[in-house]
């Protein structure tokens, strides 16, 4: 049996905030509560959630930019050594939201794309040039761009360069953190099509983070809905928004997905997310939930099966036909 591309076990992150005179943290913020999930090879897991729910914190742990507080990360069945950044780079790569500022402005495109070929794979000059030609062809960029600098490119071109850099590392798993949010709608479609082609061509696995429901539904095999640092629902992409089982997912889905519209639930207006410094004892969604009972305010529900390959963290899940 092939191991999953990505497997997370109880992965969490707590940030210390504020310092006393003695340097000890005053308080802590649990940005990501323990998350356990797997992504099979060749699939796309979409992650949706409102601003501040922990999407980027999760992504940054997966690529070694942030040390997890608890838990473990396995890629293709082998644990990632969180102390060795180069080991991450060969197996998992990060594509950033803001394509131009994610490229070093003082380096040419050739230098940017060559770095992983040199550092991670130790290729010589001729091998690097051959590999760059191949990669540029797969992301539809002309080789004459190689001696230019990042500021000379449009957002869509810069994002394709970012994708080329990730491909150069030869990693099979890509973490895409809002990869098209900064782009015009017409350019978004081009980049999404390119990502779909590359996934097919190279058998890539994606973790696709976005606050845009329509985009996530279109690109994902499965979708995880994040609320206040926890996965509240996870299931097949075609079911999660069509027959949501968690009241929070229903609220999101009811705000009619429109491409490019930011994700804020209608009733969320005026109703803030819980205070991360003073989280509620029970379900984090209880204060906004029409179905909440006394139990929801004192006890936090765990993810439980609600259907085939479909889980929700709710004591009173919606019926499939509700």
Binding residues (CB under 5 A) for Mg ion: these are 55-56
Q: Are strands 70-75 and 6-19 parallel, antiparallel or unpaired?
A: antiparallel
Which tokens belong to 212?
């845009």
The pair of structure tokens assigned to 76 is 């293709």
Q: Which is nearer to ligand ATP, 236 or 279 (CB)?
A: 279
Least distance to Mg ion, CB of residue 70, Å: 21
Q: Which is nearer to ligand ATP, 39 or 53 (CB)?
A: 53
CB of 179 to Mg ion, least distance (A): 12
- Does the protein bind ligand ATP through residue 15 (CB under 6 A)? yes
Question: Which tokens go with 63?
Answer: 């690529």
Q: With respect to ligand ATP, which residue has the nearer C-beta, 42 or 279?
A: 279
Q: What is the sign, positive or negative, of the torsion defined by CA atoms of 120, 125, 130, 135?
A: positive
Could you give the CA distance from residue 210 to residue 213 in angstroms, rounded to a whole number? 7
Q: How far apart are CA 190 and CA 194, in angstroms?
A: 6
Contact 208, 216 (CB under 8 A): yes
Residue 296 C-beta-side C-alpha neighbours within 13 Å: 18
Contacts of 185 (CB under 8 A, 6+ apart): 259, 260
Q: Where are the beta strands (DSSP E) in 251-309?
A: 304-307
**Complex with Mg ion: residue 88 or 94, whichever CB lies closer:** 94
Residue 64, by phi and psi: left (phi above 0), alpha (psi -120 to 50) or beta? left
Question: Applying CB under 6 A, does 28 fall inside the site for ligand ATP?
Answer: no
Number of Cα atoms under 13 Å in the Cβ half of residue 244: 19
Query: Which of Mg ion, ligand ATP, none does residue 31 bind (CB under 5 to 8 Å by kind)?
Result: ligand ATP
Q: Which residue is nearest to Mg ion (CB)?
A: 56
Q: Using an 8 Å Cβ cutoff, are 109 and 161 in contact? A: yes
Tell me if 177 sits within 8 A of 59, measured CB to CB.
Answer: yes
The stretch among 51-59, 131-139, 163-171, 197-205 that binds ligand ATP (CB under 6 A) is 51-59
**How big is the site for ligand ATP, counted in residues (CB under 6 A)?**
14
Q: How far is the CB of 276 from ligand ATP (least distance, A)?
A: 5
CA distance 146 to 235: 42
Asked if 101 is part of the footprint of ligand ATP (rule: CB under 6 A), the reply reads no
- The answer to whether residue 53 forms part of the interface with ligand ATP (CB under 6 A) is yes
String marking each residue 200-219 x if it binds ligand ATP according to CB under 6 A: -----------x--------
Contact call for residue 79 and ligand ATP (CB under 6 A): no
Selection from ligand ATP, Mg ion, none that 49 binds (CB < 5 to 8 A by kind) is ligand ATP
Binding status of residue 274 toward ligand ATP by CB under 6 A: no
Among 19, 25, 36, 51, binds ligand ATP (CB under 6 A): 51
Considering only 3, 29, 138, 148, the residue that binds ligand ATP (CB under 6 A) is 29
Taking CB under 6 A as the criterion, the residue among 99, 276, 301, 317 binding ligand ATP is: 276
Shortest Cβ 268–ligand ATP spacing (Å): 14
Q: Which does 30 bind (CB under 5 to 8 A by kind): ligand ATP, Mg ion, none?
A: none
Q: How far is CA 260 from CA 139, 155, 180, 192, 311, in A?
A: 23, 16, 9, 13, 27
CB of 272 to ligand ATP, least distance (A): 12
Binding site for ligand ATP (CB under 6 A): 15, 17, 29, 31, 49, 51-57, 211, 276
């Amino acid at each position: 049996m092939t191991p999953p591309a990505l497997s997370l076990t109880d992965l969490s992150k707590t940030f210390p905030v504020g310092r006393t005179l003695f340097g000890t943290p005053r308080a802590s913020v649990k940005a990501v509560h323990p998350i356990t999930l797997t992504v099979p090879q060749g699939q796309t897991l979409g992650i949706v959630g409102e601003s501040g729910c922990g999407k980027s914190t999760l992504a940054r742990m997966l690529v070694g930019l942030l040390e997890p507080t608890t838990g473990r990360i396995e890629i293709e069945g082998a644990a990632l050594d969180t102390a060795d950044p180069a080991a991450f780079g060969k197996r998992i790569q990060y594509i950033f939201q803001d394509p131009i500022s994610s490229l070093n402005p003082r380096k040419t495109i050739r230098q940017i794309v060559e770095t992983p070929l040199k550092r991670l794979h130790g290729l010589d000059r001729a091998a690097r040039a051959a590999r760059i030609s191949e990669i540029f062809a797969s992301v539809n960029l002309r080789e004459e761009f190689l001696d230019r600098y990042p500021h000379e490119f449009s957002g869509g071109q810069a994002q394709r360069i970012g994708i080329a850099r990730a491909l150069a590392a030869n990693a099979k798993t890509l973490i895409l953190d809002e990869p098209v949010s900064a782009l015009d709608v017409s350019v978004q479609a081009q980049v999404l099509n390119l990502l779909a082609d590359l996934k097919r061509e190279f058998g890539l696995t994606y973790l696709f983070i976005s606050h845009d429901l329509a985009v996530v539904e279109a690109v994902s095999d499965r979708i995880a809905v994040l609320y206040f640092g926890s996965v509240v629902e996870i299931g097949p992409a075609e079911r999660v928004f069509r027959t949501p089982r968690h009241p929070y997912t229903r609220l999101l889905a009811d705000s009619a997905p429109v491409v490019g519209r930011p994700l804020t639930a209608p009733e969320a207006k005026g109703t803030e997310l819980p205070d991360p410094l003073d989280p509620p004892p029970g379900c984090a969604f209880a204060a906004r939930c029409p179905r909440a009972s006394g139990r929801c305010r004192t006890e936090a529900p765990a993810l439980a099966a609600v259907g085939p390959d479909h889980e929700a963290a709710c004591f009173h899940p919606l019926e499939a036909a509700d």
